[in-house]
Amino acid sequence: LFGRKAVTGIAAAALAVAGAGACLAALGLALGSSVGLRPPGPQGPLVLVIAGQASIASAEEVYYRGLLLGELLRLAPRLGVQHPAARRWIALGLTSLLFGIEHGGLAGGWDDGTRQLIFALALGALLGMIVLLTDNLWLAASLHAWINWLLLRAVPEFAYGPAKAPLPPGASVSMALIAAFVVAFVIQRRTIARGAA
């Protein structure tokens, strides 16, 4: 969380989100649709939604991907898991499971609860992989905050066609995570190159 990692992580997340948006806009235009942006429409004051969700996302990333993931990686050899890859997968799996359980719920019914659980499990695993690749919690926290904002309509949404139908949030989230992995691999390569030099 310290030093220039904040600038690198936030900039990398912004680059991933902007790159995903550009790809989605280009795809819409290539398919002959008009592309626009719908303004934010959160349930509550925009500033509070943005600040609150950024705080929640940061706290969850520090807890799950900072504290728990780091401690499980450190304690795994004492529990008999010696191979580094096995340690990473076990730590990643356990933290993702806990993240999924925290975000799952059956208040909206079995189907909705199952969908939330699977989404949170997958998101936890993907954010954990990004942290393991980049050693940067800021990147994961920034992506997590943006996803929360998108799901709460606190950021502009892409809209297509004459009726300006909004794109489902899942498409934007998927594209942004793909772009984030590209950015994460670039960051990892540069870190390895600096270490070798």
Q: At a CB cut-off of 8 Å and minimum separation 6, what does 144 contact?
A: 57, 58, 60, 61, 123, 127
**pLDDT tens digits, residue range 37-54?**
888 988 889 999 999 999
Please tell me the distance from the alpha carbon of residue 173 to that of residue 150, in angstroms, as a whole number. 8
Residue 59, pLDDT score: 96
Phi/psi of residue 111, nearest 5 degrees: -60, -45
CA–centroid distance for 141 within its chain: 7
Q: Per-residue pLDDT for 34 more than 90?
A: no
CA–centroid distance for 81 within its chain: 28
Please tell me the distance from the alpha carbon of residue 19 to that of residue 48, in angstroms, as a whole number. 27
Residue 1, pLDDT score: 62
Its pTM stands at: 0.90
For the chain, the average pLDDT equals: 89
Please tell me the distance from the alpha carbon of residue 86 to that of residue 93, in angstroms, as a whole number. 10
**pLDDT tens digits, residue range 139-182?**
999 999 999 999 999 998 888 887 777 778 888 899 999 999 99
Residue 146, pLDDT score: 95
Residue 35 forms beta bridges with which residues? Answer: 160
Q: Which residues of 127-137 are buried (b: 16+ CB within 10 A; e: fewer)?
A: bbbbbbbbebb
What's the mean pLDDT in 184-196? 83
**pLDDT tens digits, residue range 5-33?**
899 999 999 999 999 999 988 988 898 88
